[in-house]
Amino acid sequence: MLNRRHFLATATLAGLSAPAILRAEAGFFRDFPFSLGVAAGDPASDGFVIWTRLAPEPMAPHGGMPLVPVPVEWEVASDGGFRDVVAKGTELARPELGHSVHVEVAGLQPDRPYYYRFVAGGERSLRGRARTLPAPGARADALKFGVCGCQHYESGFYGAYRHLAREDLAFVYHYGDFIYEYQQDYLYDSGLPIRPVRRYALRGLQDLGDFRTAYTQTLLDIDMQAARSAHGFISSFDDHEIRNDWVSTFDDWKLGLDGNDPDAPPPEVFMLRKQAAMQAWYEHMPVRRALLPRGGMVAAHRELRYGDLMAMQVLDTRQYRDNQPCGDGFKPACPDVYAKDAQVLGKAQEEWLARNLARGGATWNTIAQQVTMMSLDRRRRPDEPEKIINIDSWAGYEAPRERILSRFAGLKNCVVLTGDEHQNFCGDLVLKDKVVAAEFVGTSISSGGDGSDKRAGTDEWLARNPELKFANDQRGYLVCEVGREAWQTHFMVVDKVTTPVNTLSKRATGVVENGRAGITMSA
């Protein structure tokens, strides 16, 4: 909420009924305008993006802000006390973008931490911290980064994020499902109904205001703010930012039924919802202006290079994918799974990926994406007669899956990082009986509730899939330690998410040795 006296005084001085730009003087805001915290992201060797959003009354329409631009000052320092300010400026928080601010900071030194903050109306934001990357091609001997995502607000608290905030990391890759588009009346524990631990404000999301509300409610969580202020994030999106299992222009969630959803909107109507959802995603993510939605589309795939140690390709497996074959779901493969012209990445993105992989220049080739690349038999009971696959994963699109694996076969040290499944597992990516890459699938921050060490039937599942090395059904995140001789992925899990405070432990570690594609497990 704004101070009415300052609002009217500014309007009168400008000679306007509503000022073109509001000058936010001291005392301008009646409540703290930086209620949603701060974040940094998309790091480069000379800088990164810093983000905030003005929302003095966060759950009110427009965050309690007037519908005019408001200047926000920002500064970046080499020290946490801001005695050595190395960059500063003023950015307009525009109402068209929810009064969010995206500053692309440049001119910084490579491979070192910096601190940043914002000021508006005499109010100062939380202090944030982010690291720049090493210079392009510079020798880098070690890298440690986090991987996380899938954080259904009602399923659990975000205590895992407080643990993540305490990790010493270069950055965090978030694979998506930052929000979920629906309320749940019941959750389930061992097949029995339980109440959600907290509630989304809206039952479902349709327009820009609805999606803004979901992000606002999520970002009010202090553990979420702790993680975003402590590390730079590389942000992606999956399906629940818009609608479960959407792809391309298709919103035909099956609700567990075979065939298409008869109530699904036509593509031209779905794209209106997608435009609103993607605008809200952009408004709340620390991403560059190049990712501003245009006609509902976001240029989300991009590359990050960490010196000469790692090249990371961030993929988009939703916007350019063909509609799911076989009516979606977990079921036996139908003939359309093997369609030669099927697309997951789309032709242009697949060619972009091929060019980047062919460039070389890094010890490790990392693919950061959303849905599982292994084609796994999903049967967990001995009485199930036929192989079951996850149609919404790469397993439902065998031709593009094999094309990508063929690219990996010509390279060394390919590691795929994946989310979506709400469980931890990892395994070898196999093409024609040859191991060509390793895949680590990270669990959720909260989606799925407390979970347990193993889902029912896990031993049966592992036996049916010899490429699988490990499976676990607890919540948490991944920590990847990358060196010249080996890649280690630590599965960090919490004991519960149905309470705000929980206990963190390292459940297992998967290791990939330089020059050897397979995963070995260590305690």
On whether the pTM is more than 0.85, the answer is yes
For residues 452-466, give the mean pLDDT: 96
pLDDT at residue 7 in the model: 43
CA distances from 323 to 218, 250, 257, 278, 279 (A): 30, 7, 16, 19, 23
CA distance 128 to 301: 25
Does pLDDT of 18 surpass 80? no
φ and ψ at residue 463, rounded to 5 degrees: -65, -35
Give me the mean pLDDT over the 165-169 stretch. Answer: 98
Cβ(115)–Cβ(44) below 8 Å: no
From CA 494, how far away is CA 490, in angstroms rounded? 13
CA–CA distance from 379 to each of 330, 382, 397, 453 (Å)? 10, 8, 19, 18
Residue 499 phi, psi (nearest 5) = -125, 150
Q: Write down the pLDDT at residue 28.
A: 81
253: confidence class by pLDDT, cuts 50, 70, 90: low
Q: Who's near 269: CB < 8 A, 6+ residues apart? A: none
Answer left, alpha or beta for residue 477, where phi above 0 means left and psi between -120 and 50 means alpha.
beta
Structure tokens, 339: 């369609």
| Contact present, 475 and 505 (Cβ < 8 Å) | no
Alpha-carbon span 418 to 301, nearest angstrom: 15
Check whether 333 has a pLDDT greater than 50. Answer: yes
pLDDT digits (tens, 9 = 90+) for 168-203: 999 999 999 999 999 998 888 878 899 999 999 999
Question: How far, in Å, are 374, 399, 483, 508 from residue 487 at the CA level?
Answer: 19, 29, 6, 14
Which residue do the tokens 């091929």 mark? 354
* pLDDT tens figures, 63-101: 999 999 999 999 999 999 999 999 999 999 999 999 999
Residue found by looking up tokens 């020059």 in the block: 515
